[in-house]
Structure 1
Amino acid sequence: MEDKINTLADLFREVGHAHHQAFVAVNGADPDWPLWYADYLLDKLPAHIGQALNREQTADLLLRLHQAHSSAAPTSDWADYYARRLLQA
């Protein structure tokens, strides 16, 4: 299970880096980041979580994970937190 968590966390880090590069002029700031991330992850995420989600479902999931991370464990690594929450649900 730990390998799956690490692999999924790496995917989240990859999308975070790609997003930051795409929005480097504004230091990664993007109020619509869940949709951008969803587009990036749409064809990659199902292999990791065992189900296909559409763009809106993926964006909603990411936003809920962000909110949970911000309130429950804001000092922890966000990518690891997201991966653990998804795979241990």
Structure 2
Amino acid sequence: MDKRVERVGDVLHEAAETHHRVYRIVDGADDDWASWYADWLINLSELPNLLETTPVRSELVCELVGLHREYTAKTPAEPWESFYAQRLLAAFGPDGGRSA
């Protein structure tokens, strides 16, 4: 599972870099960032292949918002990409995740 966590983390990092480029005029500010991420992750990244399912967009948005709140509250030492990746795999992956 560690390799999958790394690969999902890489996809999340790519999403963050792409989002920042798209929103460069406002220095990455986007109140609806989770919707943008979910759309990009589902339609323009390898995330569905890595999860072995395509999450429902609204579920992924909800999960991303919850992960942001949890990560911000806990302030763990690990990078956000790893934190999110582990939990996205647990929520949506083949080893106990929901299916779309």
* Normalised TM-score (structure 1): 0.87
1:76 CA displacement: 3.3
1:88 CA drift (Å): 4.4
Indicate the residue corresponding to 2:3 in structure 1.
3
Q: Deviations over 1:11-61 (max 9, x none)?
A: 000000000000001000000000000110014322222332122111111
Q: Distance in 1 between matches of 2:70 and 2:63?
A: 11
1:50 corresponds to: 52
CA distance in 1, matches of 2:32, 2:90: 27
Task: Give the deviation of 1:75 after TM superposition.
Answer: 4.8
In structure 1, what is the equivalent of residue 70 of structure 2?
Answer: 68
1:32 is aligned to 2:29: no
Q: 1: CA distance between counterparts of 2:22 and 2:13?
A: 14
Q: Which residue of the partner structure matches residue 80 of structure 1?
A: 82
Moved over 4 A (4+): none
Identity of matched residues, %: 34
CA distance in structure 2 between the partners assigned to 1:66 and 1:32 by the alignment: 13
Cα distance in 2 for partners of 1:24, 1:72 equals: 28
Q: Distance in 2 between matches of 1:5 and 1:39?
A: 20
Structure 1 unaligned regions, length at least 5 = none
* TM-score normalised by the chain length of structure 2: 0.78
Gaps of 5+ in 2: 92-100
